[in-house]
Structure 1
Amino acid sequence: MTLICPARRQLLLGLSGVALCSLMPNKALASRSTKGIRELSLYNRHTGERNDGSYWVNGHYQREVLADFNQLLRDHRQNIAAPMDKRLFDMLYTLKTTLNSNNEIHVISGYRSPKTNSMLAKKSGGVAKKSYHMSGMAMDIAIPGVDLKHLRDAAISLKLGGVGYYPRSGFVHVDCGPVRHWS
């Protein structure tokens, strides 16, 4: 697996690359604009938990808010939390802005442990064996009040990573991997 870290535009390999990106100073991962606030409201459909907060303030990621988001996005089957890629939160924020939506984002799946991913892959052909969920780089989402096709089209238009469309299951997959899309 290859990860492109936008702050450095260097190719990094495997989970060590994810770890390296997470160790960079918070400001290095922020956009060119250092003013403003980025907020998200998240709802985990499996646990019923909600969390909202300003995860980025004036050029700095807010560690406590991100830690709370990571807990909400944990693998609920194994009760294991892992650090989610900050670019995912930026992608969700940009997606909400593009859609002009203030509705909370419903999360169907965030982080998945290898054990959970293996179990799901055995049950469904739609689960990748080397899923970005296991690296904290993917989420399956829906936004109430936003048509799923419109959500998919908006995510594809951003060209920020992968977008999968699962209308029968009622969600759109977004990830920080290479730009691509599938149905």
Structure 2
Amino acid sequence: MHRRTLLIGALAPVASAQATTIQRPPLPRRLDLRHAATGARFRGPYHDGRAVDPVALAELSQVLADSRTGTVHAYDPTVIDILWEIGQRMRWRGEFLVVSGFRTPETNAAVCGAGNSQHLRASALDVCVAAAQFPGFTEAALGLRRGGVGAYASKSFVHIDSGPVRRWGDVPGGPAGAAAPRPAPEDPLARIAEAWAATRTR
């Protein structure tokens, strides 16, 4: 009887700690994100730790709308989670600057995007990354092994998407999987900004 009492007493703190861990509510996922071409911004939680907040996702979809026409497409929450996970791995501070989100077929053609681009499905993000953070961001994206990662060091952005796992561009080990075409010599980011500016003057 004495040994049983001691055993129960020894296990009690463990059971209590486990109960505390199980009862701890999941932490919300937050993003600070701005579209470079439009200035539209999202800041706050988009996920309560269990599921995506549909209202927040609708706001993100508006922020990531086509920069030339303003067309909104419901965004794939998986690529939003990929961006959030990269931020967690890097302990990212500050906002993410997105240079390209959803694209209509016309905008995609104007910037020489791939014919089957994930941008057409609202499941891709091109994120502007400073030179000092570029290697770490690319490594974090590749380390997730989720979707496509295209790194463009000379253009200072990294493409991430929720499509098949693949890599291309300036990535460690070189391209692997289905490679996307290189951008045309003319800067596609400048084209996006120009197209957006043209719509603002109409």
Give the TM-score taking structure 2 as reference length: 0.68
Q: How does 1:75-154 map to 2 (within 5 A)?
A: 75-121=66-112, 127-143=113-129, 147-154=133-140
Question: How many correspondences in the alignment?
Answer: 146
Deviations 1:20-45 (A, max 9, x none): xxxxxxxxxxxxx9722001110111
CA gap of 1:74–1:34, structure 2 versus 1, over 3 A, is farther
Secondary structure of residue in 2 paired with 1:60: coil
Query: Which residue identity does 1:178 align to in structure 2?
Result: P
Equivalent pair of 2:129/2:158 in contact (CA under 8 Å): no
Secondary structure of residue in 2 paired with 1:173: strand
Q: Higher helix fraction: Structure 1 or Structure 2?
A: 2
Equivalent pair of 2:64/2:101 in contact (CA under 8 Å): yes
In the TM superposition, residue 177 of structure 1 has moved relative to its aligned partner by 0.8
- Runs of 4+ in structure 1 over 6 Å off: none
Secondary structure of residue in 1 paired with 2:86: helix
| Separation in 2, partners of 1:89, 1:167 | 22
- Report % sequence identity: 32
2:44 to 21, 45, 53: 53
| Separation in 2, partners of 1:141, 1:108 | 6
In the TM superposition, residue 144 of structure 1 has moved relative to its aligned partner by 5.3
CA gap of 1:60–1:168, structure 2 versus 1, over 3 A, is same
Equivalent pair of 2:129/2:156 in contact (CA under 8 Å): no
Q: How does 1:8-47 map to 2 (within 5 A)?
A: 35-47=26-38
Which structure has the bigger radius of gyration? 2
| Separation in 1, partners of 2:40, 2:130 | 16
CA RMSD of aligned residues (A): 1.7
Deviations 1:76-99 (A, max 9, x none): 101101011010111111100000
| Separation in 2, partners of 1:91, 1:49 | 20
Q: Higher strand fraction: Structure 1 or Structure 2?
A: 1
CA gap of 1:179–1:41, structure 2 versus 1, over 3 A, is same
Q: Which runs of 5+ in 1 are unaligned?
A: 1-32, 122-126
Question: Which residue of 1 is the match for residue 143 of structure 2?
Answer: 157
Is 2:50 aligned against 1:68? no
In the TM superposition, residue 58 of structure 1 has moved relative to its aligned partner by 3.8
1:176 to 159, 162, 171: 162
